[in-house]
Amino acid sequence: MADIMADTARAPQTVLRRLVLRRLAVFGFVLIMIVVSGAVFAPWIAPYAPEEQLFDGLTLEGAPLPPDARFIMGTDLLGRDLFSRILYGAQTSLVIGIVANSLALLIGTLVGITAGFFRGWIGATLMRFTDLMMAFPALLLAICLAAIFKPSLWIVALVIALVNWVQTARVIYTETTSLATRDFIAAERTLGASTGRILFRHILPHLVPTIIVWGTLGISTTVLLEATLSFLGVGVQPPTPSWGNIIFENQTYFQAAPWLVFIPGAAIILLALAFNLVGDALRDVLDPTQRGRD
């Protein structure tokens, strides 16, 4: 791992070159860039405001319009342009995905590195609490927390972070425990190095590859969980567009207008798949056991 960290620090282009050689990683990165571009430039790309109910956005019978030259993804049950809502829904998914996953990564890293380095009763207490949190189904716990707090964009991000940090904590704890017993850590202690120096100069740098990988993979889980909560009505609330609540709002038209469910569902799957592909590639590149397999 130390060799990988040194290679990454001295020659990041080497890591990038190895990633580029992986076609699935490139495909996932392209998908992510498409979604990010759509979310960032939504105010300029979207032909209509996401909450705008168009006078001619429904048929004479009051049904959604199918995709055509004007509405490339059709309209929803209220006559709103689905393409515009998908673009703005991408903003919701990415914001919650990045914010919630960053918080979960921070909490998990702090818990894992503290428990793994200090061990003893501190480590045992933190790990038993982590095990307790892992015993609860993440979705059920998220629903309970979301029901207690008034759902909003930031509350949903906080709720997801509170249920998603445990896996990171367990992985970081295992690696920190292994690193804390290495000879170079014992030598630092013999030389009188402070706890802060050992943690931030020797332990944490070795954990960076793991943090990067789990940070990437965790976004896909967060996107899926946010969409699930929004679909169940305890996530982001309308009229704020979210891919999950778009499916929820239009599920009654599943047979008459399947594009209203298929398009946001495909967007959720593709974005989660993209982050998984990139995360898997990063794991292979940064994991020394994968060297020589490219």
Phi and psi at residue 75, in whole multiples of 5°? -125, 165
Q: Above 50 in pLDDT, residue 34?
A: yes
The count of domains in the chain is 1
What pLDDT does 196 receive?
Answer: 77
Q: Above 70 in pLDDT, residue 131?
A: yes
3-state helix, strand, coil in the chain (%, to 5): 75, 0, 25
Cα torsion for 45, 49, 51, 52, to the nearest 10°?
Answer: -130
Nearest to 232 by CA among 219, 252, 247, 254: 247
Bridge partners (DSSP) of residue 75 are 81
What pLDDT does 137 receive?
Answer: 82
Q: Above 50 in pLDDT, residue 294?
A: no
Per the model's pLDDT, the better-predicted residue between 195 and 85 turns out to be 85
Is there a domain that residue 123 lies in?
Answer: yes
Rounded CA separation 58/124 (Å): 60
Task: Please write the tens of the pLDDT for every residue from 251-262.
Answer: 888 888 899 999
What pLDDT does 288 receive?
Answer: 52
What residues make up the domain containing 140? Answer: 2-46+82-290
Q: Is 243 exposed, middle or buried (0-12, 13-18, 19+ CB in 10 A)?
A: buried
Whole-angstrom Cα Rg for the chain: 23
Task: Please write the tens of the pLDDT for every residue from 94-105.
Answer: 999 899 999 999
Is there a domain that residue 284 lies in?
Answer: yes
Cβ partners under 8 Å of residue 238, min gap 6: 245, 249
What pLDDT does 4 receive?
Answer: 43
CB atoms within 10 A of CB 247: 21
Is there a domain that residue 218 lies in?
Answer: yes
Nearest to 112 by CA among 197, 28, 40, 176: 176
What pLDDT does 8 receive?
Answer: 43
CB 138 within 8 A of CB 167: no
Is there a domain that residue 70 lies in?
Answer: no
What pLDDT does 15 receive?
Answer: 66
Q: Which of 108-117, 130-139, 282-291 has the highest mean pLDDT?
A: 108-117
Residues of the chain with pLDDT > 90, as a percent, come to 36
Helix (H, G, I), strand (E, B) or coil at 244: helix
Q: Above 70 in pLDDT, residue 293?
A: no
Is there a domain that residue 138 lies in?
Answer: yes
Rounded CA separation 236/289 (Å): 41
CB 159 within 8 A of CB 145: yes
CB atoms within 10 A of CB 68: 10
DSSP structure class, residue 152: -
Give the least confident one: 54-58, 66-70, 191-195: 191-195
CB 115 within 8 A of CB 123: yes
Q: What's at 115, amino acid-wise?
A: A
Q: Above 60 in pLDDT, residue 7?
A: no
Q: Residue 38 has which token pair? A: 């759509």
The CATH number of residue 163's host domain is: 1.10.3720.10
Is there a domain that residue 140 lies in?
Answer: yes
Rounded CA separation 113/92 (Å): 31
Task: Please write the tens of the pLDDT for every residue from 75-130.
Answer: 998 899 999 999 999 999 899 989 999 999 999 999 999 998 888 898 899 999 99
Mean pLDDT score, 24-34: 92
Q: Above 80 in pLDDT, residue 10?
A: no
Cβ partners under 8 Å of residue 251, min gap 6: 261
Task: Please write the tens of the pLDDT for every residue from 205-255.
Answer: 888 888 888 888 889 989 999 898 888 888 888 888 999 989 998 888 888
Is there a domain that residue 146 lies in?
Answer: yes
Rounded CA separation 32/38 (Å): 10
